[in-house]
Amino acid sequence: MRRLRPEAPRDVVPPAHERPVLHTVPHPSPDRPLPLRLADLAVAACTAQTVLAPKPDPLALHAAELLHAPFASMAEAAMGRPLDRRLREQLGRLGRAGEQRALQAGPGAPGKRGALWSVGLLVAGAAATNCRSDVETCEAAATLARLPDGGAPAASRSPGGRARQYYGVPGAVGQARSGFPNVLGVALPALRQSRAAGASEVTARMDALLALLSTLDDTTLLQRGGSQGLLSVQMDARDVLSSGGFGTPRGRKAFVRLDSRMTRNGLTAGGSAALLSATLFLDFLFEGR
């Protein structure tokens, strides 16, 4: 997580990732088939999370765009299907293929495993429940997440899996299996409360991210900074929120301290970022209903 740049002067055209269209709620045409609409929103959510940084990695943005086909395939696979092991294993295959597809964005591109797991399950859950509600979508995703996937690699083969085992925390897997409690109970309320208070869309999304950082046992933070690194970030994020949030002068100063400490200590919060993408997907899909 890096500092947000001050707004550009009015006579300077901002780069594409800073243009307002990326900070609005997307509305895909209702004429598009449901799998494509869900994929549109999933990619928009992953992109919106990425562009919160002042200089988003072009490879990360391109990798997010490459997830459209995998997300659409997941939605199509789940429509009208029972939530059983056969579907779970099909979704696992599609997710792993999607990760390889994201890596094609270029050397050093992120595989987007966290987004494919969290957002992919929610895409499937939305398709399976015909988008009835955010709660039903999360319940369906949780049902799928609890089913075994014989093709999944062992937890010890991924950094997040190793951190989950070593520190005894649920991580992204536990969040999904529990129905995404930090999304439904923490991040979505923070996003909508900030928005209702008149905050800009960027500020509302930053407040949602801070709410996640303050409560989530982020396995990426644990992997990089251990228990002390995680606790430090959680406390700093709570300080930003208790100072009024990202949109206030006191909150912004507290955020700079948080950001500086994370940068200095080489800390990143991949789990929180993936759950912010999940939060934005549900918000894009159900806000205003």
> Which tens digits make up the pLDDT trace of 23-33?
677 888 888 99
Confidence label for 72 from pLDDT (cuts 50, 70 and 90):
very high
Most confident of the ranges 49-53, 84-88, 102-106, 147-151: 84-88
Q: Pick 166 or 38 by higher pLDDT.
A: 38
- Is pLDDT at 7 greater than 50 in this prediction? no
- pLDDT at residue 54 in the model: 64
137-186: per-residue pLDDT in tens? 999 999 999 999 998 877 667 777 788 888 899 988 999 999 999 999 99
pLDDT digits (tens, 9 = 90+) for 182-191: 999 999 999 9
Distance separating alpha carbons of residues 130 and 271, to the nearest angstrom: 27
Where are the chain's structural domains? 31-197+273-286
The pLDDT value given to residue 2: 39
* 143, two tokens: 């049902």
Is a pLDDT exceeding 50 seen at residue 262? yes
| Range 251-273 average pLDDT | 94
- pLDDT for position 58: 86
- Closest to 121 in 3D by CA, of 283, 284, 274: 274
| Counts for the chain of helices (H) and strands (E), in that order | 14, 0
Q: Are 230 and 285 in contact (CB under 8 A)?
A: no
Grade residue 198 by pLDDT with cuts at 50, 70 and 90.
Answer: very high
